[in-house]
Structure 1
Amino acid sequence: MTELSSPPGAAPWNTTTTHRHRARHPGLRAGVALAVVTAVAACGTFATSSGSGSGSGPSARDTTPDPAATAEAGAFLADWAGGRLDSAGARTTSPVKAQEVLRNFTVGLDISGPELTPEEAVRQDDGTVRVAFTAKMPVTGLGTWTYRSELPVRQQQEGGGWKVDWTQSLVHPHLSDTAKFRLEREEATTPKVTDRKGTVLTGEAHPSLRPVLSQLAGGGSGPRGAIRLVDRVTGEIEGTEATFGKEEVQQSDGPVATTLDATWQAAADKAMADKAGGRNASLVALRVDNGEVLAMANSPATGFNRAVSGTYAPGSTWKIVTSSALLLKNAVGLDDVVDCPKYLTVGKEFHNVETSEFPGATFRKDFTKSCNTAFISLRGKLGDSELGDVARDYFGVGQEWHVGIPSFDGSVPVPKDETEKAASMIGQGRIQANPLVMASVTATAASGRFHQPTILPGGAPGGDTTSTKPLPPSVVTQLRTLMRATVTEGTAGVLADLPGDVGAKTGTAEVSETEPNNGWLVARRGNVAVAAVVEQGVTGGASAGPILRSLLAAVPADPS
């Protein structure tokens, strides 16, 4: 989000106008991830100004504001920030007018979640208390407008209560009976973006691509707009209070080619719309042999691109990496008995989903049934940094990727203690990933070699700066066996009726003690690896499972 300061003075609200420009402002209609700030206004905790002395002598004057006045100012700002405009208006000397102006200001300028920070309260000679404040006003889809103003707070009668002495200029110094604000947004035609076969990709046909089409087409110049100060009668512009967006970027004449596949993208968007149940969710599909991204989808379709920029604990899908680390040093065999009790305490109590247990289970069964306690019991087989080393050296996780759009490329910190090491074995603790990362992990496990994911043919600008080693063929064979068994006899049975040699791993990632777990599923079929996460999905098989099944059922063949 871009934060902008307005010149001294201005006044926002009223109509929104749109200007159309020809193909030179990419993505002005594209979805923009908006981080809405929840305001926390002080309530009677303002600093006070000191007077001209400590109180000695006949000329000394106490300028300390009445605490009740500062409390009322704080309460007004808190109500305004929290959207309680009727309550904010009631704290003023003109409740009806104040409520009307505050509502017109926020609604007319598409402002949501303002942050209002009070400064020092000062008592004036006439007894009025003035409280300066900084306003940060998030304008939907554009950025944050920042300016300063102040509140006058006046005691209503001798010994009576305090109220904000209403005037339009306290909302913004330039807002008045003769001038108001107008929000203007610019619209531009985005240059064409095509899939791997030359099919044009659009936000209308592929909703999840809206946040990235402008990045692909024009270097991410993003949406543009401005807040103008205008005459209330004539509408004539008197000044510009804030501008949003980068300068125009001249585009090349030809379309921008990508590795995406329109058929896979359409199926991914449909799977999200039909199976995510309105929850936050995302998925990525990519080619195993070269890392080319075929599709990415998000729920909701517009806004933050969780699929490539999200940060999540990967949960039990991370057991692919953990298993690789154990198999690389022959620390465990698939038929070795690794008991799976209900609980295991390592600084804290760990348990399995639904507190399941499998006494005398083999490592193969521990993987297919996703036994947390069994994996944690093997933590002594790995050095403290070994899991992160394997993730980086073989799977490329945590190295810098050049995907072609902004991405988060995973993080595997060295555990701080034994409890965190135990959590890391099952994809918890401080391990962070997203569907892009986990689709890549799945592809690496299936092929034995990491290929940097990319959305641009031939790779993104910056090139492939990663450095990895191939997994030994024996490890790859064992990983493929484990993932296939997870479909045929384990927790990924939701994919069992799909044609082809499908391998998978489910995941359940704990978020907090009070929120439902996130659900994960990764899978590989033929030359495609896919990964999906559903926030608060509880389990991977029940939440992410139907999404990936819908996708793979709709696109039975590998892409060309």
Structure 2
Amino acid sequence: MRSGAKVAVVGGVFVLVAGGLGYGVYNVVLGGGEAGGTESASASSEVRTGPPSKSEIEETAKGFLKAWASGDAAAAALLTNNEDVAGPLLTGYSEAAHVTKAVITPGPAVGTKVPYTVKATVSYEGKTKPWSYASELTVVRGLTTGKALVDWQPTVIHPQLTEGASLKTGESSTAAIEAVDHNGKVLDKEKYPSLGPILDSLREKYGDSTGGSPGIETWIEPADTQLPDTTLLTLAKGKPGRLQTTLDAGAQAAAEKAVKQFSGASVVAVKPSTGSIRAVANNPATGFNAAMQGEQAPGSTMKIVTAAMLIEKGLASANSPIECPKDVMYQGNTFHNLKYFSLPDTDTFTTSFARSCNTAFIKKIDDVNDDAALAKEARDVFGIGLNWKTGVVSVDGSVPEASGGVAAAQYIGQGTVQMNALNMASITATARNGTFRQPVLVPRELDDRQLAVASRSLSQNVTRQLNDMMRATASWGTGKAAMSSVRGDKGAKTGSAEVDGQGTSNSWFTGFNNDLAAAAVVQSGGHGGDAAGPVVAAVLRAGS
């Protein structure tokens, strides 16, 4: 116990421990005991303005945490700026989540924020288990009263709690699962944290069909009933049912490690010959599965699709020369290459692809003479927008029909093109073999779902040219440094996507190695080869 404070405990209790705010000692009893204190506002009738003072922050946090610790949800809710929403959640902490004891230890205030740790005990039908976590609150000034109040957010109760969600403890609604990779190796969220949301989704969808039985758990029940529950604590394990996935434990481990290098990164690996998803990783690892559900401009990695379209239409070929000026104007919009570089007119399309020349692609738009051509190529060959059924919630990319400058921007992966790491890994997998195979995370046979099918494949000639151009990018082009450690038959494409209001471009990279394709995006990572490239290379080295 910090600072030598002593707390008398009577019955089932919540206790506030003296911490960095210099709190006194309280004897508190769940459902009774001393009240939670008062809001720290001026005693005068004058409504105070401006940021709360240090003393107001300390007193408000003190009053709120003391009331919460004593189990007095009503008093704690009064000390927030949203009493109607805070009250039910605070009440549910003991009544619905069945927390019978909690020791709350606040730390020193950092500006208006007060961090704290909670060491709780959850009890349900004779099953009891300790539960620990950390969170924080923020003190603000009430808009109408001028009083210092806790700015109510669901994360005050628990850092993973979202708007409209609630904490529950009881028998789980679905049976537990034991997910295994394609070789039968067990996959769990402790060892592979990025799989947490995915395993929750798989359990929600397939738990009752795998032969398992429910356990006793504490979980977050989201407001959106289409989303899975998030298990926070297991009091008693049920019998897990075995669920086969297409993942590869080695590739997944490498992906988890690789994305941790950056504050915002996602990567996916796909097996071109089957469409099997071998790895999915995100940093941060919990919450939104950006690798499969994100929607962002993919930058020059999109040139794989544009190149396929131009070659199919006979407007370019890997070994034919193509113009690459430093900049080009199209319908009032100016496009330029990185640092305004240009290439000799005798250089081939492969060189422009490997060096990521924007203008070489945009200069061809008039020759295409069809504003919808890129959208058709993305859909009909690469399967983009065909309602993929991967086994969990995923977004299958979007290339809307466009015209003018927007259409030109799409040629280089900007404008209205929206992709995620899964989409770009799949595009690379399609380019690798010439045929789209819809990515899957669990075998189709598990639920006999209908997979998306593209209307046509690339010819062997076009497929060969795309592979050769990607090989050039990996061996001497913009992907050389990132792919230098990858052995075998390898290819790549780099990309950097400009985002409005963001000082540094997002880093994109996609590549293949033998029968594995992978793609990654790093937020504000800059050039594709600098940040996303090493992430992809790490997964390709480890995958199978």
TM-score range, shorter chain: 0.5 to 0.7
2:503 paired with 1:519: no
SS across alignment from 2:302: helix
Deviations 1:77-109 (A, max 9, x none): xx8xxxx6548x96xxxx975554456689999
Q: Is the 8 A contact 1:259 1:454 kept in 2?
A: yes
Cα 1:165–1:342 change in 2 (3 A) is: closer
Deviation at 1:219, TM superposition (A): 2.3
Alignment match of 2:169 (pick from 186, 206, 209)? 186
Cα 1:252–1:337 change in 2 (3 A) is: same
Deviation at 1:495, TM superposition (A): 0.7
Alignment match of 2:318 (pick from 334, 352, 355)? 334
Give the letter for the 2:405 counterpart.
T
Q: Is the 8 A contact 1:404 1:460 kept in 2?
A: no
Gaps of at least 5 residues in structure 2 are 1-12, 16-44, 94-142, 154-165, 208-216, 232-236
Deviation at 1:196, TM superposition (A): 1.0
Instruction: Give me the whole-angstrom Cα distance separating, in 1, the residues matched to 2:230 and 2:429.
Output: 38
Cα 1:115–1:507 change in 2 (3 A) is: farther
Instruction: Give me the whole-angstrom Cα distance separating, in 2, the residues matched to 1:290 and 1:169.
Output: 53
2:350 paired with 1:367: no
Deviation at 1:473, TM superposition (A): 1.0
Q: Which residue of 2 aligns with 1:546?
A: 534
Q: Is the 8 A contact 1:395 1:468 kept in 2?
A: no
Cα 1:358–1:460 change in 2 (3 A) is: farther
- More displaced, 456-465 or 437-446? 456-465
2:486 paired with 1:480: no
Instruction: Give me the whole-angstrom Cα distance separating, in 2, the residues matched to 1:355 and 1:343.
Output: 7
Instruction: Give me the whole-angstrom Cα distance separating, in 1, the residues matched to 2:395 and 2:199.
Output: 18
Give the letter for the 1:260 counterpart.
L
Deviation at 1:467, TM superposition (A): 3.7
Aligned length: 411
Q: Is the 8 A contact 1:519 1:535 kept in 2?
A: yes
Q: Which residue of 1 aligns with 2:391?
A: 404
Instruction: Give me the whole-angstrom Cα distance separating, in 2, the residues matched to 1:170 and 1:521.
Output: 40
Cα 1:251–1:476 change in 2 (3 A) is: farther
Q: Which residue of 2 aligns with 1:435?
A: 421
Q: Which aligned pairs between 1:94-493 and structure 2 lie closer than 5 A?
A: 98=60, 100-101=62-63, 164=145, 186=169, 190-219=176-205, 224=219, 254-273=241-260, 275-276=261-262, 278=263, 280-346=264-330, 347-360=332-345, 361-382=347-368, 383-415=370-402, 417-458=403-444, 461=447, 462-493=449-480
Larger radius of gyration: 1
SS across alignment from 1:533: strand
Q: Is the 8 A contact 2:301 2:494 kept in 1?
A: yes
**Identical aligned residues as a percent:** 35
- More displaced, 433-442 or 188-197? 188-197
2:503 paired with 1:508: no
SS across alignment from 2:377: helix
Q: Which aligned pairs between 1:29-68 and structure 2 lie closer than 5 A?
A: none
CA RMSD after TM alignment:
4.2
Cα 1:281–1:342 change in 2 (3 A) is: same
Instruction: Give me the whole-angstrom Cα distance separating, in 1, the residues matched to 2:387 and 2:344.
Output: 42
Instruction: Give me the whole-angstrom Cα distance separating, in 2, the residues matched to 1:351 and 1:265.
Output: 38
Q: Is the 8 A contact 1:86 1:99 kept in 2?
A: no
Instruction: Give me the whole-angstrom Cα distance separating, in 1, the residues matched to 2:537 and 2:149.
Output: 57
Cα 1:464–1:397 change in 2 (3 A) is: same
Give the letter for the 1:355 counterpart.
Y
- More displaced, 262-271 or 456-465? 456-465
Instruction: Give me the whole-angstrom Cα distance separating, in 2, the residues matched to 1:339 and 1:254.
Output: 59
Cα 1:86–1:245 change in 2 (3 A) is: farther
Gaps of at least 5 residues in structure 1 are 1-13, 17-68, 117-132, 144-161, 173-182, 227-242
Q: Is the 8 A contact 2:245 2:443 kept in 1?
A: yes
Give the letter for the 2:145 counterpart.
V
Q: Is the 8 A contact 1:393 1:468 kept in 2?
A: yes
Task: Identify the structure with bigger relative contact order (alpha carbons < 8 Å, sequence gap 6+).
Answer: 1
Cα 1:389–1:100 change in 2 (3 A) is: same
Q: Is the 8 A contact 1:397 1:411 kept in 2?
A: yes
SS across alignment from 1:209: helix
Deviations 1:232-288 (A, max 9, x none): xxxxxxxxxxx9997999998631111111111111112222x43x3x001011111
Q: Is the 8 A contact 1:404 1:459 kept in 2?
A: no
Q: Is the 8 A contact 2:167 2:218 kept in 1?
A: no
Q: Which residue of 1 aligns with 2:138?
A: none
Deviation at 1:364, TM superposition (A): 1.4
Cα 1:96–1:374 change in 2 (3 A) is: closer
Cα 1:245–1:548 change in 2 (3 A) is: closer
Instruction: Give me the whole-angstrom Cα distance separating, in 2, the residues matched to 1:248 and 1:307.
Output: 19
Q: Which residue of 1 aligns with 2:140?
A: none
Instruction: Give me the whole-angstrom Cα distance separating, in 2, the residues matched to 1:267 and 1:320.
Output: 25
Instruction: Give me the whole-angstrom Cα distance separating, in 2, the residues matched to 1:297 and 1:428.
Output: 24
Instruction: Give me the whole-angstrom Cα distance separating, in 1, the residues matched to 2:505 and 2:178.
Output: 39
Deviations 1:312-346 (A, max 9, x none): 11110000000111111111122333222222233
Give the letter for the 1:261 counterpart.
D
Instruction: Give me the whole-angstrom Cα distance separating, in 1, the residues matched to 2:464 and 2:498.
Output: 30
Q: Which residue of 2 aligns with 1:5?
A: none
Deviation at 1:349, TM superposition (A): 2.5
Deviations 1:91-135 (A, max 9, x none): xxxx97555445668999999xx996xxxxxxxxxxxxxxxx975
SS across alignment from 1:420: helix
Deviation at 1:450, TM superposition (A): 0.4
Q: Is the 8 A contact 1:214 1:220 kept in 2?
A: no
Cα 1:386–1:184 change in 2 (3 A) is: closer
Q: Is the 8 A contact 2:397 2:418 kept in 1?
A: yes
Instruction: Give me the whole-angstrom Cα distance separating, in 1, the residues matched to 2:444 and 2:227.
Output: 30
Instruction: Give me the whole-angstrom Cα distance separating, in 2, the residues matched to 1:307 and 1:351.
Output: 29
Q: Is the 8 A contact 1:225 1:245 kept in 2?
A: no
Cα 1:171–1:422 change in 2 (3 A) is: closer
- More displaced, 301-310 or 464-473? 464-473
Cα 1:223–1:468 change in 2 (3 A) is: farther
Q: Is the 8 A contact 1:379 1:422 kept in 2?
A: yes
Cα 1:104–1:330 change in 2 (3 A) is: farther
